[in-house]
């Protein structure tokens, strides 16, 4: 059983008062369940000090239990019929039982032994009650009578005759009157000192199953199988109020100790707590029972007992139930007056109680962090960010702590250029990411922006350089992050040849002109061109290389250079005999050769340009060259 005290915690948080409107509610969690009977529990009672519970059952026994713990303390066995009714003596030292074996019996609580056997009824005893001073015992029976007995010796004092079965009996608080309810649909008031009839309470249309006096004795409460309970003026017999709305037969009724509430045990629905003045349904106590045979209030009014067809009795709080949860995560530790780990519920022991709840500003679910947003009390949003809330609980309520997973911002940039496509978006952009989520970043090795190529170097995350060339990596988002993809402008090497293309160039990079190579970093290049080649039958000699339009040394087949920016390299060829490079072999070439080469330098040498080897460079050589090689470069 949960403690009735309040746990007081010191919390440093702002208090918010939430308005609450009273409403009917359903309590689903009993404080204690008394389990052990093998047949229905037909009657229940509290000891005068509220520390014990007594139950009577169709299994021929009555049992004594610890009210706080549900511990079974004693079994009163000896009846040969089902125990139909039970009561405590006013001093709490003895218990009274009535049975289908036509007897009532008095038992000692301390020894469990039978003290007194009351016999005289001719049919089963349906109801028993002690007088307030403990000197008399009242019984009701299927033999159509109620009887008053001496509690010491079991001697018969009065008989209250009826025309039908007497189902329920009660003493007035001062012990001067007795009340009976019977199968003829009537409740009757009798003088306990003379045995004389006083008045009837007429209005039920079916048998009266239960009767009770208000604590001050001025009112009478009755329950009937006509599915109503009625409140009567004890002095006049007039009906003050009818409690409607029951869907089943009302088998048991009870007044709260202060007279402000009434409790009804009903067939085929939960026990119902009602406002005695207005008739408003305040609370239902919903177990898995299909038939509640008996109900009782604790002496302090904070709890009620129900006995049912499920072979058990249950102890409930008349205080409301507070259901505390959190969303979208659970297992959040809540402190305050009702501490616990969500989701959980607490049945309060007071009908109206102030409660303070405090939620942590940050909660964990796995490794992910969730930030507190607000409390919602019965669906009403409280101020955002206020982790503590204080409110009055006077009906079953819900308190929801709303959280939101922490969000982080990932800024994705690229430098020195923007507009690079990363994670499906063009830099520069930001992503909103849940806490502890892993983001995969993949940068393209080559990015083309506005027709310009850029090569990836590295990622820089929160100012920390990542390994060069590692374009893909996973980033744990446990804080706001900035990731920059660092690029440089890529160098494009274009290799061509003239006047003809389709020339294979060995070296690095090798290829057939024209071709290109893109470099993502500054790099040395080595190219080699053939000194002489043929296009068809026409021979060509390498004249020179050009790099970005700058001619290199004549007839230099191998060149080395460094590509750090866009570079155009061209291998320039001339037709054999085209001395001046105008793609025409004519007298000008002859003149150029003679002017450039001069005479032989020694015996046995020929003139350079002496094609026909006649030791003379003249028009005949030109004609020989033209006849042999053709005239143009195409």
Residue 55 is assigned to a structural domain of this protein? yes
Rounded to an integer, what distance in angstroms lies between the CA atom of residue 350 and that of residue 329? Answer: 30
Q: Is 247 helix (H, G, I), strand (E, B) or coil?
A: coil
Rounded to an integer, what distance in angstroms lies between the CA atom of residue 253 and that of residue 223? Answer: 6
Give the tokens for residue 412.
């994705």
**Same-domain pairing of 222 and 286:** yes
**Amino acid 213: pLDDT:** 98
Q: Where are the alpha helices (DSSP H) in 502-618?
A: 587-597
Residue 4 is assigned to a structural domain of this protein? no
**Same-domain pairing of 546 and 399:** no
**Same-domain pairing of 567 and 599:** no
**Amino acid 370: pLDDT:** 95
| φ and ψ at residue 590, rounded to 5 degrees | -60, -45
Q: What residues contact residue 14 under an 8 Å CB cut-off, 6+ apart?
A: 386, 387, 388
Which band of pLDDT confidence, cut at 50, 70 and 90, is reported for residue 4? very low
Residue 580 is assigned to a structural domain of this protein? no
- Look at residue 634 and tell me whether its pLDDT is greater than 50: no
Residue 522 is assigned to a structural domain of this protein? yes
CA distances in angstroms from 198 to 63, 157, 193, 630, listed in the order given:
36, 18, 12, 151
CA angle at 181 for the pair 102 and 298, rounded to the nearest 5°: 85
**Beta bridge mates, 184:** none
Q: Tokens 């993949």 — which residue?
A: 442
CA distances in angstroms from 550 to 129, 133, 526, 545, 559, listed in the order given:
125, 129, 17, 8, 13
Predicted confidence (pLDDT) per residue in 479-503, tens digit? 999 999 888 877 889 999 988 888 8
Predicted confidence (pLDDT) per residue in 140-162, tens digit? 999 999 999 999 999 999 999 99
- Look at residue 507 and tell me whether its pLDDT is greater than 50: yes
3-state DSSP helix/strand/coil % of the chain, to nearest 5: 5, 55, 45
Mean pLDDT of the 274-280 span: 90
Give the tokens for residue 563.
């590509």
Predicted confidence (pLDDT) per residue in 153-189, tens digit? 999 999 999 999 999 999 999 999 999 999 999 999 9
**Amino acid 523: pLDDT:** 84
Predicted confidence (pLDDT) per residue in 426-462, tens digit? 777 888 889 999 988 888 888 878 877 888 888 999 9
Q: What residues contact residue 199 under an 8 Å CB cut-off, 6+ apart?
A: 188, 189, 237
**Same-domain pairing of 87 and 235:** yes
DSSP run (H or E) holding 625: helix 619-629
Residue 581 is assigned to a structural domain of this protein? no
CA angle at 35 for the pair 32 and 40, rounded to the nearest 5°: 115
Rounded to an integer, what distance in angstroms lies between the CA atom of residue 325 and that of residue 608? Answer: 104
Q: Which residues of 371-399 are buried (b: 16+ CB within 10 A; e: fewer)?
A: ebbbbbbbeeebeeebbbbbbebbbbbeb
Range of the domain at 599: 587-629
Residue 12 is assigned to a structural domain of this protein? no
Q: Tokens 């390498």 — which residue?
A: 542
**Amino acid 451: pLDDT:** 77
**Amino acid 33: pLDDT:** 96
**Same-domain pairing of 139 and 223:** yes
- Look at residue 633 and tell me whether its pLDDT is greater than 90: no
Predicted confidence (pLDDT) per residue in 547-602, tens digit? 999 999 988 999 999 988 889 999 998 776 666 656 566 666 656 655 554 555 44
**Angle between helices 619-629 and 587-597 in degrees, nearest 10:** 120
**Amino acid 586: pLDDT:** 62
**Same-domain pairing of 417 and 397:** no
**Same-domain pairing of 136 and 211:** yes
466-473 LR contacts (CB < 8 Å, sep 24+) = 471/442, 471/443, 471/444, 471/445, 472/440, 472/441, 472/442, 472/443, 473/440, 473/441
Residue that terminates a domain, selected from 284, 317, 350: 317
Predicted confidence (pLDDT) per residue in 334-389, tens digit? 999 989 999 887 777 676 789 999 999 999 999 999 999 999 999 999 999 999 99
Instruction: Please report, rounded to a whole number, the percentage of residues in the chain having pLDDT higher than 70.
Output: 85
**Beta bridge mates, 221:** 212, 231
Predicted confidence (pLDDT) per residue in 203-242, tens digit? 999 999 999 999 999 999 999 999 999 999 999 999 999 9
Supply the CATH number for residue 141's domain. Answer: 2.130.10.10
Give the tokens for residue 205.
């249309």
**Chain CA centroid to CA 264, Å:** 37
**Same-domain pairing of 220 and 255:** yes
Residue that terminates a domain, selected from 317, 350, 373: 317
Residue 18 is assigned to a structural domain of this protein? no
Mean pLDDT of the 326-331 span: 94
**Amino acid 421: pLDDT:** 78
Residue 17 is assigned to a structural domain of this protein? no
**Same-domain pairing of 299 and 417:** no
**Same-domain pairing of 395 and 427:** no
Predicted confidence (pLDDT) per residue in 281-300, tens digit? 888 998 877 799 999 999 98
Predicted model pTM: 0.58
**Same-domain pairing of 155 and 79:** yes
Domain count, the chain: 5
Residue that terminates a domain, selected from 317, 339, 357: 317
CA distances in angstroms from 410 to 75, 441, 443, 480, 569, listed in the order given:
71, 11, 15, 6, 44
**Same-domain pairing of 51 and 172:** yes
DSSP run (H or E) holding 619: helix 619-629
Q: Is 472 helix (H, G, I), strand (E, B) or coil?
A: strand
Q: What residues contact residue 598 under an 8 Å CB cut-off, 6+ apart?
A: none
**Amino acid 621: pLDDT:** 63
Q: What residues contact residue 623 under an 8 Å CB cut-off, 6+ apart?
A: none
């Amino acid at each position: 059983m949960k403690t009735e005290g309040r746990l007081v915690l010191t919390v440093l948080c702002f208090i918010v008062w939430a308005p609450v409107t009273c409403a009917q509610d359903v309590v689903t969690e009993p404080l204690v369940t008394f389990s052990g009977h093998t047949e229905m529990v037909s009657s229940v009672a509290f000891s005068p000090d509220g520390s014990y519970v007594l139950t009577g059952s169709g299994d021929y026994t009555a049992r004594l239990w610890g009210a706080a713990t549900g511990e079974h303390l004693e079994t009163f066995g000896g009846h040969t019929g089902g125990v139909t009714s039970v009561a405590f003596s006013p001093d709490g030292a003895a218990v009274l039982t009535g049975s289908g074996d036509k007897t009532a019996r008095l038992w000692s609580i301390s020894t469990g032994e039978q003290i007194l056997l009351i016999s005289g009824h001719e049919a089963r005893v349906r109801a028993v009650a002690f007088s307030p001073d403990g000197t008399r015992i009242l019984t009701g029976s299927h033999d159509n009578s109620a009887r008053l007995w001496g509690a010491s010796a079991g001697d018969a004092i009065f008989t209250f005759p009826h025309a039908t079965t007497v189902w329920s009996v009660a003493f007035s608080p001062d012990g001067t009157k007795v009340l009976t309810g019977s199968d003829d649909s009537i409740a009757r008031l009798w003088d306990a000192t003379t045995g004389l009839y006083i008045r009837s309470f007429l209005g039920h249309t079916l048998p009266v199953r239960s009767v009770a006096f208000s604590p001050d004795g001025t009112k009478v409460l009755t329950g009937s199988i006509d599915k109503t309970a009625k409140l009567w003026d004890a002095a006049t017999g007039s009906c003050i109020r009818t409690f409607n709305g029951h869907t089943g037969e009302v088998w048991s009724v009870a007044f709260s100790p202060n007279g402000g509430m009434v409790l009804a045990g009903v067939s085929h629905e939960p026990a119902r707590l009602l406002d005695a003045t207005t008739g408003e349904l305040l609370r239902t106590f919903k177990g898995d029972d299909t038939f509640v045979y008996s109900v009782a209030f604790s002496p302090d009014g904070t709890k009620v007992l129900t006995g049912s067809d499920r072979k058990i009795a249950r102890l409930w709080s008349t205080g409301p139930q507070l259901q505390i949860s959190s969303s979208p995560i659970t297992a959040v530790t809540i402190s305050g007056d009702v501490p616990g780990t969500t989701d959980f519920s607490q049945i309060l022991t007071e009908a109206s109680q102030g409660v303070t709840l405090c939620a942590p500003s940050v909660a964990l679910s796995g490794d992910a962090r969730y930030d507190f947003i607000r409390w919602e009390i019965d669906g009403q949003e409280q101020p955002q960010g206020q982790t503590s809330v204080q409110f009055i609980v006077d009906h079953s309520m819900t308190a929801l702590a709303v959280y939101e997973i922490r969000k982080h911002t990932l800024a994705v940039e690229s430098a020195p250029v923007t507009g690079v496509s990363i994670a499906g978006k063009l830099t520069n952009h930001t992503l909103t990411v849940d806490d502890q989520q892993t983001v995969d970043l993949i940068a393209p090795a080559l990015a083309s922006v506005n027709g310009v190529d850029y090569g990836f170097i590295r990622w820089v995350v929160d100012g920390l350089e990542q390994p060069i060339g590692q374009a893909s990596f996973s980033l744990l988002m446990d804080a706001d992050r900035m990731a920059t993809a660092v690029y440089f402008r890529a160098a494009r090497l274009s290799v061509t040849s003239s006047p003809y293309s389709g020339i294979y160039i060995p070296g690095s990079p090798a290829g057939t002109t024209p071709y290109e190579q893109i470099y993502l970093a500054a790099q040395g290049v080595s190219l080699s061109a053939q000194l002489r080649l043929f296009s068809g039958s026409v021979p060509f000699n390498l004249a020179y290389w050009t790099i970005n339009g700058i001619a290199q040394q004549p007839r230099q087949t191998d060149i080395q250079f460094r590509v750090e920016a866009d570079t155009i390299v061209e291998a320039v060829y001339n037709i054999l005999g085209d001395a001046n490079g105008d793609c025409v072999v004519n007298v000008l070439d002859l003149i150029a050769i003679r002017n450039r080469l001069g005479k032989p330098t020694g015996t046995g040498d020929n003139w350079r340009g002496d094609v026909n080897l006649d030791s003379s460079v003249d028009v005949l050589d030109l004609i020989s060259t033209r006849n042999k090689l053709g005239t143009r470069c195409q």
